[in-house]
Amino acid sequence: MRIALDGRSLSSEPAGISNFTLNAINALSEDKKNVIFIFSHKEINNTILKRLSFKNGNVFITVKPLFFLKDIGVLWFFLKFPFLIRFGNFDILWGPSQVLPPSFLTGKIKRMVTIHDLVFKSYVKTMSLYIRIENFLSTSRTIKNADFIWCVSDYTSKELKQFFPHRKAKDIFVGSGIDNSVFKKINLDDLDKKKIREKYHFNGTTMVFVGTLEPRKNLKFLLSLMSVLSEKGISLAVIGGKGWGSVEEVLHNDSKEQYGSNVQFLGYVSTDSLVEIYNVADIIISTSLNEGFGLPLLEAMACGCPVVAPHNSAMIDIVSGFGTSIVGWEKDEWVSGIIATIKNRDEMTKKLESKVSQYNWEKIGSDLDVYLNK
């Protein structure tokens, strides 16, 4: 099967969608009958390039930017990408980032889209106006017209069926996971852990938040807990680049005065750094209003780091029974849940491996082949 895909996300530093796309390509390329063609407007990010699997000789990259405004991926996506794939004799056109070009531009090729979340439907007010419009015009059209739909979780699949009952693709494929060769426990002695903690300026008991800084992540609520948690010797490291919205108050110069010295903002960190952090952090925490999957939580669990998260969206499936899943937004409940998770960290860590093993990319790739060949 010849699969052409939109590889724009692979030109950036590894994050949610790019990590998913990378892992999915590697899983699909395990079957030598699949030939994967990655198209992009920019060179593939070096970190991602090193993790791409070329062992079967069936993964190919084509970088063909526009002659003008080369860095604007959305223009390339609509103006050049369709014509690169239209006459390539491909079996499947895959949009791993929730969108596909209009079908009249791409010909009769079968079309598959990956849907990571339906936030633009269920939590529209947490999105910027530009993203709202883009999703309304492009993602909705794509979902309705795609021949194949791949959702990252059962939760997202159920939402899609609810919001889009009238669509071309009746069957929906579900699956996602992490790269277990990257996100895993590291053998560290006490001295190693101390050095890593000093490297990232972790003080005392440390919980980590990972995610783009945007309203949906509900970071303000998490920060509101820190006045109590700091008194108990618990610090917070916030990892993730700025997205959009009113997050300036957590990034301005006197943020330490506002939230205390037990809160630090690390910004974007590399994958290697993230693995180190997961391995030495006491817990990972999410206060998100909605997640289509919850990739950082699963990554942390694979590294032996217990999770505290809200009892909502796809996080219910990942966390319930294997971490602390908190119903509602009562601050006392969250403080108690965080303290109890830290206290019982060693016991909770023992359960994580069995949960992580359920998200197996080898099986996902095999099942996807069956789905596409129906």
Q: Is residue 185 part of a domain?
A: no
Please give the tally of structural domains in the chain: 2
Q: In this structure, are residues 26 and 47 in contact, taking their beta carbons and an 8 Å threshold? A: no
Lowest mean pLDDT among 34-38, 88-92, 123-127, 212-216: 123-127
User: Both 339 and 292 in a single domain?
Assistant: yes
Q: Is residue 301 part of a domain?
A: yes
The rounded distance, in Å, linking the Cα atoms of 249 and 264 is 13
CATH number at 143 reads: 3.40.50.2000
* Residue pLDDT, tens place only, 97-142: 999 998 878 888 999 999 999 988 887 776 677 677 777 778 999 9
CA angle at 59 for the pair 294 and 29, rounded to the nearest 5°: 60
The rounded distance, in Å, linking the Cα atoms of 295 and 16 is 7
**By residue range, what is the domain housing residue 201?**
190-356
Q: Is residue 183 part of a domain?
A: no
CA angle at 58 for the pair 57 and 63, rounded to the nearest 5°: 105
Q: Token pair of 68, please?
A: 């003008």
User: Both 119 and 197 in a single domain?
Assistant: no
Single pTM value for the model: 0.92
| The pairing of beta strand 2-6 with beta strand 92-95 | parallel
Q: Is residue 182 part of a domain?
A: no
User: Both 98 and 212 in a single domain?
Assistant: no
Q: Token pair of 352, please?
A: 């994580």
What's the chain's length in residues? 374
Smallest CA-to-CA distance from 145 within 163, 127, 169 is with 169
CA angle at 119 for the pair 117 and 122, rounded to the nearest 5°: 120
Smallest CA-to-CA distance from 149 within 190, 184, 99 is with 99
* Residue pLDDT, tens place only, 169-218: 999 999 999 999 999 999 999 999 999 999 999 988 999 999 988 888 99
pLDDT score of 252: 46
The rounded distance, in Å, linking the Cα atoms of 324 and 255 is 28
Q: At a CB cut-off of 8 Å and minimum separation 6, what does 126 contact?
A: 119, 214, 215, 216, 245, 289, 290
User: Both 218 and 263 in a single domain?
Assistant: yes
User: Both 225 and 277 in a single domain?
Assistant: yes
How large is the average pLDDT for residues 154-175?
96
User: Both 33 and 172 in a single domain?
Assistant: yes
User: Both 296 and 325 in a single domain?
Assistant: yes
Give the residue carrying structure tokens 């059209």. Answer: 141
User: Both 31 and 160 in a single domain?
Assistant: yes
How large is the average pLDDT for residues 211-233?
91
